[in-house]
Amino acid sequence: MTTTVPAPVAPPRRILMGPGPSDIPSRVLLAMAAPTVGHLDPYFLRIMDETQSMLRQLFRTQNKLTLAVSGTGSAGMETVVCNLIEPGDKMIVCVNGVFGGRMADVAARCGAEVIKLERPFGEIFSSEEIEAALKQHKPKLLGIVNAETSTGASQPVQDIARLCHEHGALIAVDCVTSLGGQPVEVDEWQLDAVYSGTQKCLNCPPGLAPVTFSDRAVAAIDARKTKVQSWYLDMQMVKDYWGSNRAYHHTAPINMNYGLHEALRIVLEEGLEARFARQQRNHLALKAGLKAMGLEYAVKEGQQLPMLNAVIIPAGVDDAAVRKQLLNEFGIEIGGGLGPMKGKTWRIGLMGVGACPANVLVFLAALEKCLLEQGVKLIPGAGVGAANLAYARS
Ligand SMILES: *Cc1c(COP(=O)(O)O)cnc(C)c1O
């Protein structure tokens, strides 16, 4: 048999303005190209310690059990749920999008008695309905998504965390898209288990899942009567590697951790407040531009995520054709709608470093060209002009 060797990897350079992965700074890619050392090498142990310290600053927590799970955001979700749930435990899962739905699926696979609280895609939960459900079902755990990337809706969780504790429940929060893009205050809001991912507002390739567990959550894990059914994600063992024991569990993805270390350095160098303000400024400019072009947001004012802008596709416009043109002609990736929003919305990401005037203005100009070619009536330049006015005002 003859061997065939394909050409080496040579990906096109894109502007990633979808729901993730986001644009990766070359500093992060360069860090990942550094020499691989052993997973118990003193140098790597130092990188792990520094990463933990930076993650605590990012999560705004003192939680001892704070680390990066080897796997993408979904592995973070699975880690949180499978460590806190034993077969037969009751868990309320708030479902108003794809990721809430995924959490309910994970919980059921862990043997939880799942109570799904549902809201239409794009809406958020009120404290009243959550409290009613807590009273009725008395769950061990409530799971909720802080930034629902599938819909663009922002769910406040501080009040819900307080209610969970009043009713004897723990709260697990999906901060995959919110972390690094808007405030996530783990200690102040008293969140018990929080997971995120590297590929959204942290601008690191997909591959790690930052997680943090409160003392309350750690006590629940310590009190388990059964083993966590996932060997790989069992925090009792993983924490022995990230903690002072340094006991081998699995080989950490070394270079992926270099990448996260550099990505976290970039976030902390800028400062969280400055970063959140920049996210907001660019979100407002994009929104002004889109509105001037006649596009409406799919989520109510006041509940919109700055890093994920879901807009309604104008009537008569070919969803797939526009996304294809954006990609082929401009190298810009945006996301289509998911679930019931499929074919109805576009999801425009401004994640981390991607929240910048260069991306906003190029995108608005490119979208204008696509829409004009689709026969949409709009005033040329209106979108870019409105965005520039918004920048001038901020
Ligand atoms: C992206 C995302 C996930 C899943 O992360 P993966 O990296 O795709 O595994 C989970 N929850 C939310 C809110 C997300 O945006």
With contact defined as beta carbons under 8 Å apart, do 203 and 262 qualify? Answer: no
Give, using CA atoms, the residue closest to atom 6 of ligand 1: 73
In this predicted model, what pLDDT tens digit does every residue of 40-74 receive, in sequence order? 999 999 999 999 999 999 999 999 999 999 999 99
Atom number of ligand 1 nearest to Cα 147: 13
In short, whether 99's Cβ falls inside 6 Å of ligand 1 is: yes
Pick the closest to residue 124 from 152, 164, 96, 159 (CA basis). 96
Q: What is the distance between the alpha carbons of residues 347 and 358, in angstroms, rounded to a whole number?
A: 18
Ordered structural domains, the chain, with CATH: 26-269 (3.40.640.10), 272-393 (3.90.1150.10)
Q: How far is CA 62 from CA 52, 135, 180, 213, 330, in A?
A: 10, 30, 17, 10, 44
For ligand 1, whether the C-beta of 78 sits within 6 Å is: no
Instruction: Report CA-CA distances (Å) from 247 to 66, 238, 290.
Output: 17, 9, 53
Ligand 1: which of 16, 74, 95, 179 to mutate, most ligand atoms within 8 Å of CB?
74
Instruction: Tell me what pLDDT residue 213 has.
Output: 98
Q: What token pair was written down for 227? A: 């083993």
What are the tens digits of pLDDT across the range 265-294?
A: 999 999 999 999 999 999 999 999 999 999
pLDDT at 1: 84
Residue pair 237/97 in contact by the 8 Å Cβ criterion: no
Strands 170-174 and 193-195: parallel
pLDDT tens-place values along the chain, 394 residues long: 899 999 999 999 999 999 999 999 999 999 999 999 999 999 999 999 999 999 999 999 999 999 999 999 999 999 999 999 999 999 999 999 999 999 999 999 999 999 999 999 999 999 999 999 999 999 999 999 999 999 999 999 999 999 999 999 999 999 999 999 999 999 999 999 999 999 999 999 999 999 999 999 999 999 999 999 999 999 999 999 999 899 999 999 999 999 999 999 999 999 999 999 999 999 999 999 999 999 999 999 999 999 999 999 999 999 999 999 999 999 999 999 999 999 999 999 999 999 999 999 999 999 999 999 999 999 999 999 999 999 999 8
pTM metric for this prediction: 0.98
> Of all atoms in ligand 1, which is nearest to the CA of residue 146?
13
Cβ neighbours, 10 Å, residue 41? 12
Question: Position of tokens 């925090």?
Answer: 235
Contact 207, 76 (CB under 8 A): no
Is the CB of residue 20 below 6 angstroms from any atom belonging to ligand 1?
Answer: yes
Cα(193)–Cα(173) distance, integer angstroms: 6
Residue closest via CA to ligand 1's atom 14 equals 176
Q: In what order do the strands lie in the sheet with 335-336?
A: 308-312, 345-349, 335-336
* Alpha-carbon span 321 to 374, nearest angstrom: 9
Is the Cβ atom of 79 under 6 angstroms away from ligand 1? no
Phi, psi angle pair for 219, to nearest 5°: -60, -40
b or e along 328-338 (b: 16 or more beta carbons within 10 Å of the residue's beta carbon)? Answer: eebebbbbbbb
Asked whether 195 lines ligand 1 (CB < 6 A), one says: no
State how far Cα 88 lies from the chain centre: 29
What per-residue confidence (pLDDT) applies to 164?
Answer: 98
**pLDDT for the residue 12:** 96
H-state helical runs in the chain: 26-32, 42-59, 73-84, 98-109, 127-137, 158-166, 215-222, 235-242, 254-270, 272-292, 319-330, 357-373, 382-393
